[in-house]
Structures are given as structure tokens and as C-alpha cells.
Homo-oligomer: A and B are copies of this chain.
Amino acid sequence: MAVMEPSASRIELQTGVLDPCGQVLRRRLSDMQAMFTNEAARQELQAQEGDRLVYEVYVAEIPETGSHILHCTTVIQPGRVADEFFMTKGHFHAVRDRAEIYLGLAGLGCMLVQTDEGETRLLEMQPGTLVYVPPFWAHRTINTGHEPFALFAAWPGDAGHDYGTIETKGFAKILVARDGKAALVDNPRYA
């Protein structure tokens, strides 16, 4: 029987860059239309400062079956759209009953999770924080600091991704800057 070869790659722990990796996804302001609550502010920021990078995902190339552990690193830039912190789009797993684990590598941020019923939890992250996202929770990471926020993530190979639900409904809560601190508030546009 032919078995897959073991392999080594490298995460630069200060920056979160994974090398080699199968694919680098770059999400710029133009890729984040209607993801932030204030879409007009997003357009204005893009007009003023150009199509800034919001986050990058370094995805390892691994077969997508339940035998495997898919994994990536994510690097979220510091920044805000109006008072809302830069963040990932966030997703459920297509197979809802699949967990994911995250490890903070550099910078400061939060993990926002939500069930299909709109129940939310917020977990603070710093280098070394390990967050376990159990089955059935959508998850989004958010940079609340002044430096890039870098994370490692691993999930079951058969989980798949459902981005559409969050793109359509959003999260019930958003994380915004209030008096120089991060505050979790209701999302006025939550469907």
C-alpha cells in the first residue's frame, strides 16, 4: 500500500507565516464587503487608504477526509472599520458537528463563537492561548491589538466550510472599540 509521506514545514512564530504551504488566501478591504456593520465606513476607508490587507490565511495542502487534520495559520492586521476591529469573515463547518482548535502565536485578539441559534461567546487570546471551539459553533477571530494577530488552527479533514450563513446573517454580536477598550455589543444588522 502506498502511504502519504510525512512532511515538515515551518511557522515563523513571530509573524505566523507558514512556509511551505499549499495556498495563501489574502482578504483585503474589497473582499470584506458587508462583513462589517458600517459598510459605508468600509468603502470610505478603502477610498482613502487603498485596498488594505485585512488578513491572510496560510493553508497547508492536506487531503480533505476524516483521516486527516487540516491546518492553517491566520494573520489578521491591526485596524478598524469605523469602531469595529479587523476580523476574519468567520464560518461554520459544513458538517456542523466538527470542532476546531486554535493556538495564539503573536499579538492580541479574541475568538468570537456563535451557535446556529445566535448564542455567542467571546474568548480573549494572546500568545499561548489555546481555544477549543467545540462542534456546532461558528468561529471568527478578531485583532484587538496594535500588532498583527497570528494564530495556528487545526480541524478534522471532513469538516468543510460554510461561509454563506455568516455572510448572510452575520454574528449576533460585534466587537468594537469603546473608550480605548474592546466591547462586545449587539449587531444592529443581525438578521
The CA-CA distance from A158 to B158 in the complex, in Å, is 13
Q: Are B135 and A4 in contact (CB under 8 A)?
A: yes
A94 adjacent to chain B (CB < 8 Å): no
Chain A interface size, under 10 / 10 to 19 / 20 to 34 / 35 or more: 35 or more
Contacts of A46 in B (CB 8 A): none
Give the number of copies in the complex.
2
Contact check: which of B11, B69, B129, B154 meets A128 at CB < 8 Å? B11
Given that A13-B127, A67-B97, A101-B69 are contacting pairs, would A137 and B8 also be in contact in the complex, using a CB cutoff of 8 Å? no
Q: Which 3 A-B pairs have the closest CB atoms?
A: A4-B134, A154-B154, A3-B136
Q: Are B69 and A99 in contact (CB under 8 A)?
A: yes
A68 adjacent to chain B (CB < 8 Å): yes
Closest B residue to A139 by CB, please name it. B6
